[in-house]
Structure 1
Amino acid sequence: MENIDKRNRLDEAPFQYRINKDQTVFIDYEGKQVKILKGKEAEKFIKNVNAAENDKAVQLIMAKITGNFKRGNERKKR
């Protein structure tokens, strides 16, 4: 996993997720909602998160699902 997260951004745990009672998954990045998963996609996500070996692996799963929305030129929070 060292080659995937070269800048160690996933150590900061920027992603969080919530599961609704109807099995809808909401994924947040730094407190802002970026993705909603429903149906089979949500089931697959929950299965992968439960099988993850550590918190960094869960962060990587969420990073891959949210896609390439970070380009590196965004400003940091102040």
Structure 2
Amino acid sequence: MSGVPEGFTYRLRKNGDVEVLHHGRSASVLRGAAAARFLVDVDNGDPQELMARVTGNYRHGNERTARNHPRNRGR
């Protein structure tokens, strides 16, 4: 499994909300200023990473533990 987020898409609703989908299922809905900020940021950066951050599926708190695991020391 790669560490790169994938499978995220988004769609703009008629009322201005942004719905973020993960593998076709609704993961998050952004409204108002957050939706406007998202639409600006998605054009400027990596959209998959941005959508992963927005949905909360980005960091899970185990990165430090994984880095200190004997198999990963020396990387």
Instruction: Specify the alignment match of 2:47 in structure 1.
Output: 58
Normalised by the length of structure 1, the TM-score is: 0.65
Aligned to 1:76: none
Coordinate RMSD, CA, aligned:
2.3
2:36 paired residue among 39, 43, 51? 43
1:70 deviates by 8.9
The counterpart of 1:7, out of the listed 2, 18, 34, is 2
* Identity within the alignment, %: 28
Structure 1: segments with no counterpart, 5+ residues: 1-5, 72-78
TM score, norm. by length of structure 2? 0.67
Shift of 1:22: 2.1
Shift of 1:45: 0.3
Gaps of 5+ in 2: 61-75
Kindly name which structure, 1 or 2, has the bigger radius of gyration based on alpha carbons. Answer: 2
Give aligned pairs, total.
Answer: 60
